[in-house]
Amino acid sequence: MKLDKKKILFIAGILVSIICSWLFARKIEWSSLGEAFREAKYIYIFPTVIILFIAHYIRAIRWEVLLSPIKRVSVLNLFSANMIGFMANNVLPARLGEVIRPIMIARKEKIKVSTSLATVAIERVFDILGVIVIASLLFCFLPSDNETNSQAVILQLKKWSAIMAFLGICAITTLFLLSLYPKRAGAVFEKLLFVFPHHLRDKLVNMLHSFISGLQVFDHKTKLLWAGALSIVIWLLNAASIYVLCYSFDIGLSFAGSCFVAVCLALAVALPQAPGFIGVFHIATQKSLDVFGIDLSSAQSFAILLWAINFVPITITGLLFLWREGISFGEMSHYDEEKIPE
């Protein structure tokens, strides 16, 4: 059987999730876990879910800002595509939702897919930069004790934050240069493709120019600043959802601690893994709470509930929006196999 890149990533993701699930489950004390869930205050689930949906709606507003120089798109349509995309990330391999949602908007709004993909690429760069900003501020508030486990997690956070900072700066610089010198970028790209047949080379160059046309937001400093501010708000809301849910298990976590957990989760879910972030999400939550001395049973029960809140309502909402759009699940799952139009 021939393994392509998609299958290799899928297999790697499954293995990562299996290992993380084992690491999480092997230390579960089932009696203590059951007691934690029996004593939990589930009333805090409702504000947590509301905060998460507000964060997703602000993501749609940010996407509208990035698309506005190209075409005015309804925030509701973008919210719909976002929810379908996040639902797809929960149930399909290889994070296909990141490809599905720009394709949906491109189809609905009659814009080129490569142009729509460019705005999603900018989104991801802003997400990285938002995490970097919050992580950098966190180092002033993290505990300074000498516990081995806590220090190890903090050192890992600093290491991966530095890597993300480097990647984010490289990405934003590349996108900015592409938008600033589109003709030169096209000429260089065409020269790099000299080994390809003429018709294929022309098609790829046209796709690059379509992609660059999605970077028009770089010509609008106000929109860029607004998108950056919204990115910070999104991550603060993610932290707020963690902070509120802590009350379900009487976990005394500060808002800075909640930001720390949010950053650790952002770094963890960037890894290849099974659909729904199973295992990786759980172990990342548990380990990040361990930094603040949260007992194992509370940390594990919190991780399970937080994962369920991020999985179940988002998946159901995404499926409802999929039904609203009149698209079958099977049709959506094959979007990534379509040829991207020029």
pLDDT digits (tens, 9 = 90+) for 15-42: 888 898 898 888 888 888 889 899 999 9
Q: Which range, of 11-15, 35-39, 159-163, 312-316, averages the lowest pLDDT?
A: 159-163
Classify residue 288 as exposed, middle or buried by CB count within 10 Å of its CB (0-12, 13-18, 19+): buried
Give the residue from 257, 298, 306, 249 showing the smallest Cα distance to 277: 306
Task: Evaluate whether residue 6 is within a structural domain.
Answer: no
Give the residue from 59, 53, 164 showing the smallest Cα distance to 119: 59
Task: Evaluate whether residue 57 is within a structural domain.
Answer: yes
Task: Evaluate whether residue 78 is within a structural domain.
Answer: yes
- Torsion (CA) 107, 113, 116, 122 in degrees, nearest 10: 150
Task: Evaluate whether residue 277 is within a structural domain.
Answer: yes
128: pLDDT strictly greater than 70: yes
Give the other-Cβ count within 10 Å of 318's Cβ. 24
Binning pLDDT at 50, 70 and 90, where does residue 213 land? confident
Q: Total structural domains in the chain? A: 1
Structural domain including 153 reads: 45-176+220-337
User: Which amino acid is located at 254 in the chain?
Assistant: S
Cβ–Cβ < 8 Å for 258, 242: yes
Task: Evaluate whether residue 113 is within a structural domain.
Answer: yes
**CA-to-CA separations, 267 to 23, 71, 128, 129, in angstroms, rounded:** 18, 32, 9, 12
Cβ–Cβ < 8 Å for 116, 265: no
Task: Evaluate whether residue 31 is within a structural domain.
Answer: no
Task: Evaluate whether residue 162 is within a structural domain.
Answer: yes
Q: pTM to 2 decimals? A: 0.85
- The structure tokens listed for 73 are 């798109």
Task: Evaluate whether residue 91 is within a structural domain.
Answer: yes
What mean pLDDT is reported for the chain?
83
